[in-house]
Amino acid sequence: MRSPVGIFDSGFGGLTVVRQFLHLLPEESIIYFGDNARVPYGSRARGRIQTFVLEVGQYLVEQGIKALLVACNTATAAALAVLREKFSLPIIGIIEPGSRAAIGASRSGEIAIVATEYTIASGSYQDTIKRLRPRARVYGQACPLFVPFVERGQLNGRELEAAAEEYLSFLANTNVDTLVLGCTHYPHLSSIIRRAIGPDIRIIDPAEATIWEIKKVLEQDGLLAPEGNVPQHRFCTSGDPEHFRRLGQQLLGFPMEQVEHVAMGE
């Protein structure tokens, strides 16, 4: 099936998932939606996030997508269930595949999650990991300053380093051997994060496991693009399309010829 896969995030974060998607599923077309006018989702209440996510989902479904990839941990934690209730196409979230990847990587059984305030407070990663590996010890740390840095295109500098050091200092008193980047914005900051935690802790970006998951679902449902398909990609934002195009292609490492502006409620 040639129809695109819909992929969305509150902003530029989901592009870390798109990067891997284009690499692992090069014949699939996508429509990406960044809700940049309403970022961050991670400091908002559940009901609000659900409203935003259902609006974005509605728009993407109207564009004729064959499956929906929620490239946002906050949206997955707050709204995966309501999305699945409302729309009948395959919908893949990022937290379950990310948790499995972390469990597979950890020897000590101590796993840390860095994510938005909402994702950490929801306990979604903690609960999923404990369900899959009951004896695991899970630490959660919210890093609310990270997303605004990425949205501004500020990916290094002293201020950011200081924030990373402060957020990640708790690791020194633990046996954590695996750190999950539980917000799709954070892989844009992976070199800063690596510097703050040192060389020994494994960093897990849930994107890769999530792409394997969607590949499996597309295969099972007979929805893969035909072999040799030449993909076509669309990029949409509720924010400023020129800012999205400029920063987006830098973050993605892939040219975006055109970015469409799509207005969302308020």
The widest CA-to-CA distance across the chain, in whole angstroms, is 51
Q: How many chain residues are in contact with ligand DGL, going by CB under 6 A?
A: 16
- Annotated catalytic residue 183: yes
Tell me how crowded residue 213 is: count the other CB atoms within 10 A of its CB: 19
**Catalytic hit among 164, 181, 183, 211:** 183
Question: Residue 185 interacts with ligand DGL (CB under 6 A)?
Answer: yes
d(CA 146, CA 161): 10
Question: Residue 9 interacts with ligand DGL (CB under 6 A)?
Answer: yes
Question: Residue 244 interacts with ligand DGL (CB under 6 A)?
Answer: no
Question: Would you say 59 or 149 has its CB closer to ligand DGL?
Answer: 149
Question: Would you say 39 or 209 has its CB closer to ligand DGL?
Answer: 39
Query: 3-state class of 154 per DSSP?
Result: coil
- Annotated catalytic residue 72: yes
Residue found by looking up tokens 């590996």 in the block: 133
Q: How far apart are the first and last CA of the chain?
A: 35
Write the interaction track for ligand DGL spanning residues 91-120; mark x where CB under 6 A is met and - where it is not.
-------------------------x--x-
213-242 positions binding ligand DGL, by CB under 6 A: none
Question: Residue 72 interacts with ligand DGL (CB under 6 A)?
Answer: yes
CA neighbor of 39 nearest in space, from 172, 234, 237:
237
Q: Which of 37, 143, 179, 183 binds ligand DGL (CB under 6 A)?
A: 183
* Helix (H) or strand (E) segment spanning residue 203: strand 202-204
Q: What is the DSSP string of 47-71?
A: HHHHHHHHHHHHHHHHTT-SEEEE-
Burial of 159 (0-12, 13-18, 19+ CB in 10 A): exposed
Question: Residue 10 interacts with ligand DGL (CB under 6 A)?
Answer: yes
Minimum CB separation of residue 142 from ligand DGL in Å reads 10
Catalytic residues: 72, 183
What residues make contact with ligand DGL under the rule CB under 6 A?
Answer: 9-10, 13, 39-42, 72-74, 116, 119, 147, 183-185
